[in-house]
Every structure is written in C-alpha cells, then in structure tokens.
Amino acid sequence: MSVNEEQFRSALGRFAVGVTVVTTRSADGGDHGMTVSAFCSLSLQPPLILVCIDKTASIYDIITTAPNFAVNVLSMSQEPVARRFSVVDIDRFEGVGFSRGRGEIPVIDDAVTVLECRRTASYDGGDHTIIIGEVEEARWNDSGRPLLYYRGGYAHLER
C-alpha cells in the first residue's frame, strides 16, 4: 500500500533542501525564472545536475524546452528573491539584481553558487519533468551561507 500525498509531503518536508532559482532566456529574448527546491548533482564525469519542474508551473513550457539554463543557489539573505520567483504573473526579475551568463541567460547576483547548464535530456517523473543539464560554467561565493527549505518554510544554516 502506498502512502498518500499528505503523508509523503510530511515525510519529505523533514528533509532540508537548498533553495534555487532556475533561470533561462526564451527564443524571443524574454528572461524567465522560477524557484526550485528539487535540485541535485547527478554525475561528476561528465558534470551533470538535475532539476524537477512541476508540470503545472506557469513557465513549464519555457523551462523544459530551453536549450540552456542556470541554477542559482540562493544565499540566506535572498529569501525575498525565492519568494518573488514563486509568484505567478509578475515580472519576477523586477528589483532583483542579475547579470548575463553564457547565451545571455540571467544569473542572480550574490547567489552562493551559479551553475550554467546545457539541457541534455528530459524525462517524465509523474507530476514533474526531470531535466538533466551538463554544467558548462560554475561559480561560487565562499562567504555566503545557503538558504534552506524545511518543513514548509525557509530556514538558515547555523554553522
């Protein structure tokens, strides 16, 4: 017998995860991004990561078909950025500092880590799509602490 959705959500909510904003640029030159907590490393050789995108996400079609994207691991001071990129039907980049990475993809200023990726594969994963990206560029900030998501809310690493 399987667990129900509420049980599953409660159990996994006790696993602290880093908070990211996945950003890309559409074919028409528009900047797009969304908050994503389902992110992890996949392989060292080649350097691969994966992100999981909910099929009901407002920019699902853009994110899942973009040839390139960036994963911006947010710092604990960037909770407002995480919240902003979770809101639907707004200009998510308004008031958020960013620069341009490879292929003019927006990358969030002051992120703990930025991974610029080329999409190599996509797979069905129930109500999500799993996107595999090969990391082509990696930058990090040793002084920043990551923003975490735990039990339905944002948390900070005390270390």
For the chain, list the domains and their CATH numbers. 5-151 (2.30.110.10)
Buried b (16+ CB within 10 A) or exposed e, 31-57: bbbbbbbebeeeeeeeebbbbbbeeeb
Report which of 42, 22, 34 is spatially closest to residue 113, judged by C-alpha positions: 22
Beta bridge partners of 117: 69, 135
**pLDDT tier, 159 (very low <50, low <70, confident <90, very high otherwise):** low
| The model's pTM | 0.93
For residue range 6-58, list pLDDT tens digits in order: 998 889 888 888 999 999 999 999 999 999 989 999 999 999 999 999 999 99
Per-residue pLDDT of 95-131, as tens digits, reads 999 999 998 999 999 999 999 999 999 999 999 999 9
